[in-house]
Chains A and B, each alone.
Chain A
Amino acid sequence: MNIKYAALLALCLLPACDSKQGDDVPSAQNAQAPVDWTWNQSNAGQYWAAWKPATGPVEMGPSFAIEIKLSTTEAGAPLDLQAGQIDIQARMPEHQHGMLQSPEITRLSPGHYRVDGMRFHMLGYWQLQLDISRPPLTERAQFDIQL
């Protein structure tokens, strides 16, 4: 009989334990990543870029996908480039490293792209860096992400 009560008590306490652990693990609510398009002018001012998560809020650990848009002005005419003209990376400048995997870019429509294979393996400050090549110039747009 005592054993049955103990088992029942353990079952009741289990969700509470899980909940406590869950507070330490970053969740979708903890990540201050945007859920809609976020626009930034490129660092040298020649184009605009935007990004948003494609598969739900960004969090530490799992691979995720994002979408990006490029335009000549903010939310203006699309800047239509081949996927090979775009290099995307995310770096943690304070730790002097980037991601542990290489993302892949797919062109969805003019100026609109999907990036698969993103993964943030650490909590902290990340920079999402988009390098747009229009030979002979390459120009960077970047976004700050605090996980």
Chain B
Amino acid sequence: MILPTKALARVFHEDVPQAQQPGSWQGSVDFDPADNAVALSRKATSGKSSKGARGLRRGPLAKLGVRVHEMSGLGLVLLLAISAPTAFAQEESGATSEHLGLYSRTIRKFPRPVALSYASDGTLWVADHSGLVQGLDSSGGLVTSFMGPQGGVGGLALAGNESLWISVPWEKAVGRYSKIGMPTGALTSPNPDSPRGGFLEPRGITTFKGHVCVVDAGWGRLDIFKSDGTWQKSIGEGLLKNPQDVCIDSLGRYLVADTGNSRICAFDVEGNLITTFGEWGWFPGLFSDPTAIEAQGERFYVADRENQRVQVFDLQGTPIYRIGMHAILPREGEGTLHYPTHLALRRDGRELALIEPMDGRVQIFGMGLGDAPPKKINRPTDRQPAPHYGTHWDMGAGYLAIPEPETHSIRIYDLRNVEKPEPGQQAGTPTLVTEVGGFGTRLGRYTQPGGVFIGGDPLTLLVCDTGNGRLVETKLALSQEDPLGFTLVAARVQRSLDLAALNETDEQLQRPWTPRPIDVERSADGTTFLLCDLGREIYVLDEFWNLDARFGATEEHPWKHPVAIAWQESTGRLFVCDEGLGRVHVYDRQGHWDSELGEYFLKRPSAISFDKQGHILVIDRGVSTLFTFDDKGSVLRQQGHAGIDRDSFFGPTDVDVNEQGHIYVLDHGNHRGMVFDKKGEWFHAFGSRLYTKPARLPWTIEKNDTEESE
């Protein structure tokens, strides 16, 4: 077999990477005729192999140092012909042409990146949740950085090479910043003469031919402005539900990630809906939480967050291939994904950057051979996918209720094995005894379960179905006297409260927006407290769910981003966690302001609970720390830092104290629950084995990889 000279030179020349542009992907193909496989591996342009190359096959050609760098399609075909058995595998993998989507490198310079965009000069701009904005060169080196908004960034887009548009849902505003962080303008209020005027929750932004487009998740629409910030029109009202991002494709269509409806909507320039792509599901072409979209040439790319992938489509909406697989190991990356939330394409369409806020990183994908990701993932086969917990949970009457994000159900665990192990036995894991709901819009099903409450007699489950905009009450026929076992007939749905209908019918409300329920509490007398985020309000409902009262932010005591509430029965006070202001607001039952907590200690308080001594426990996801305050608001104890060992959390989101006084922390980023005794000493972890092992066996602790950087 005779190979073309050019191909031969590439095959036998190991130093080709130096000729590559920094950051571009270099495909290498190692052959192993023994198992008829072709393993595609990756190599970063820095010259050192990425960890993703661990799966290199050691076939005869590989032993000779044969690698194919930038091989032309013809060269590849000829080389494949050397080893006939490998041809089938190559054909099976669909590798026929260069495509975007093979892993290149990871950048870890951010606590919680939330938005990014490429400038036309190739600079990658990344905004952190805190408001820190960084410009990075193609190797990930810092070009410049500045503190932009005061936290709560929602979207980012470049305005030429000189300035950036940044949306801030907490501030209900979109501002323009120079590259050194000077505010240079803002978008004007959209729809100024309408009762639905102004921004409510601006998210994704894109710029296009002298225009700026912003999706507003709160209003459910797309606002279009001239580049000087003047509002032109709004489109998509009544069609979009919680949209998170927008792009413009080569046909001039607005493509909107209609996240709440699990689909992509295509609008023409006049704002007419042309078509939609997808619905909720797992199969190719379906979505579960599509949160970002970008288009380039003949393709568009969607970050399909809960399906842990990026889907690539042609302009007709036909799925072509996927990028990434679900990460299983703690902080696993290098092509495997963990809740990818936002993405950006370099202007030449040859590089894609992907944000995973939960892991505090940006993964870069480049061009490579093949139409599909490598089928062989270098992962031990004995490791199973981790069970995922949502961001909220609640404990009561010996049970733990946890929303499960992928199935959109609520899982109910019995805690007897943890709290009352058999004599001589160590604490076991919570036992799954039933599950409630599943994805859907009918009563009893949820599209986006948020805050939950479990407790009372009879045992009652309250769920904030944020996606369907309602509160749902379910009775559970479970008893601590029954033998442990699993049943699917324990749940009996009672009723639901539709917040949109309540808003229309109740004279107290009449908000132009639809209140969105995010957390719920119930007092011993049956009063229900419901936290709604768009209006930053709490609704107080009587036992028949009539609206008894409502209260919220005032000019004197403003709220920025309330995320959770907790009712303290012993003092009759309601605590409101405000992640935006980094403090806890305290009210009496009637909604009169009482006090504040943690102003100088807390960064992103995400949940509160109380122990029997009246101490106030606050979990802070921003610093991965559990704070204990006395009833005067003084800090008694701080425990935890970012990590995976038994002294650590990774973005914890909830805390609860049970009847035995044990403290349960929902260690969300580590997919586990951590249990501490009354003194705060760790004694148990449950959840994914891969994440609980470092807590159970502290001597196996590895270096905290949150501090790693490449």
From B438, B488, B492, A43 is in contact (CB under 8 Å) with B492
A135 touches B488 (CB 8 A): no
Q: How near does chain A come to B610, taking the closest CB pair, in angstroms?
A: 29
B501 touches A135 (CB 8 A): yes
Q: Mark A114-147, 1 if CB is under 8 A from B, else 0.
A: 0000000000010001010001111110100000
B488 touches A96 (CB 8 A): yes
B442 touches A89 (CB 8 A): yes
Beta-carbon contacts under 8 Å, A6-23 to B: none
User: Chain A contacts of B438 at CB under 8 A?
Assistant: 96
Beta-carbon contacts under 8 Å, A86-106 to B: 87, 89, 93-94, 96
A140 touches B499 (CB 8 A): no
In angstroms, Cα B439 to Cα A50, docked, is: 29
B495 touches A43 (CB 8 A): yes
In angstroms, Cα B288 to Cα A20, docked, is: 50
In angstroms, Cα B444 to Cα A56, docked, is: 30
User: Chain B contacts of A136 at CB under 8 A?
Assistant: 497-502, 505-506
A140 touches B498 (CB 8 A): no
User: Chain A contacts of B500 at CB under 8 A?
Assistant: 136
User: Chain A contacts of B489 at CB under 8 A?
Assistant: 93-94, 125
A138 touches B488 (CB 8 A): no
User: Chain B contacts of A135 at CB under 8 A?
Assistant: 498, 501-502, 504-505
Q: Is A1 an interface position by the 8 A CB rule?
A: no
Q: Is B473 an interface position by the 8 A CB rule?
A: yes
User: Chain A contacts of B443 at CB under 8 A?
Assistant: 87, 129, 131, 138, 140
B496 touches A94 (CB 8 A): no
Beta-carbon contacts under 8 Å, A38-79 to B: 43-44, 46
User: Chain B contacts of A94 at CB under 8 A?
Assistant: 488-489
Given contacts A93-B489, A125-B489, A131-B443, contact A137 B475 (CB under 8 A): no
In angstroms, Cα B442 to Cα A89, docked, is: 10
Q: Mark B197-211, 1 if CB is under 8 A from A, else 0.
A: 000000000000000
In angstroms, Cα B458 to Cα A43, docked, is: 12
User: Chain B contacts of A87 at CB under 8 A?
Assistant: 442-443
In angstroms, Cα B472 to Cα A138, docked, is: 9
User: Chain A contacts of B442 at CB under 8 A?
Assistant: 87, 89, 131
Given contacts A44-B473, A135-B505, contact A93 B488 (CB under 8 A): yes
A137 touches B495 (CB 8 A): yes
Q: Is B676 an interface position by the 8 A CB rule?
A: no
Q: Which of A44, A89, A94 neighbours the largest number of chain B CB atoms within 10 Å of its CB?
A: A44
A140 touches B495 (CB 8 A): yes
Given contacts A87-B443, A94-B488, A96-B438, contact A44 B495 (CB under 8 A): yes
Q: Which of A94, A135, A138 neighbours the largest number of chain B CB atoms within 10 Å of its CB?
A: A138
A139 and chain B: residue at smallest CB distance: B495
Interface of A with B (CB < 8 Å)? 43-44, 46, 87, 89, 93-94, 96, 125, 129, 131, 135-140, 142
**Interchain residue pairs A-B with the least CB separation, the first 9:** A135-B501, A136-B501, A136-B502, A44-B494, A139-B495, A44-B495, A43-B494, A131-B443, A136-B498
* CB<8 Å pairs between A and B, sample of 5: A87-B442, A93-B489, A96-B438, A136-B505, A142-B492
